[in-house]
Every structure is written in structure tokens, then in C-alpha cells.
Amino acid sequence: MNSSPNSKRSMFGLLCAAFGHDYIVTRKVTNHINEYKCSHCGREVAENDSGHLEVLTQKLKNTNSNLATFFQKKNRRVSTL
């Protein structure tokens, strides 16, 4: 058994290059910002402030975590009014 998951992943990478990524939402950060993951190649992206997709780095994940916490708090306060 010489399984090679890498070759499978790169095949999906080619599919993505040809047809575009198949992003699914992995986390809702705010009403305007979501995190996505490609179900084919595993590439993770997120919307930035200007609404464009950028690669989801660890730093951006942390930023989004803080943003999500802040956003939820803000929402909760609004909904109790």
C-alpha cells in the first residue's frame, strides 16, 4: 500500500486552478466577514475589511476570533435592548 494523499491533493489543486475553488463557509465572523475552506484542496481564505478574499493566515484567524467575540457581544447587547 503506497498511498500518496499529496498527489490526490495536487490533482484537486489542478481542478481548482481550472474551475476555481469550491469554498464552504467554516466560520461566520461578522455579517460581512466569513471564513471559507475549499472542499477540494483545503485552501483557507477569509474576507478582509474591503470584502476581498485573502489567504487565512494564523494571524488573520486570531484577528477574526477577536472580531467574532466583539461582534457577538455587540449583537447580544443590541438584542437585549
Among 21, 34, 36, 47, binds Zn ion (CB under 5 A): 21
Tell me if 56 contacts Zn ion by CB under 5 A: no
Stretch of 28-36, 40-48, 57-65, 70-78 lying at the interface with Zn ion (CB under 5 A) = 40-48
Stretch of 3-11, 25-33, 43-51, 64-72 lying at the interface with Zn ion (CB under 5 A) = 43-51
Query: What is the rounded CA–CA span in Å between residue 49 and residue 5?
Result: 35
What residues contact 64, with CB distance under 8 A and at least 6 apart? Answer: 27, 29, 33, 35, 46
* Strand positions, DSSP E, the chain: 23-28, 34-38, 44-47, 53-55
Contact footprint for Zn ion (CB under 5 A): 16, 21, 38, 40-41, 43
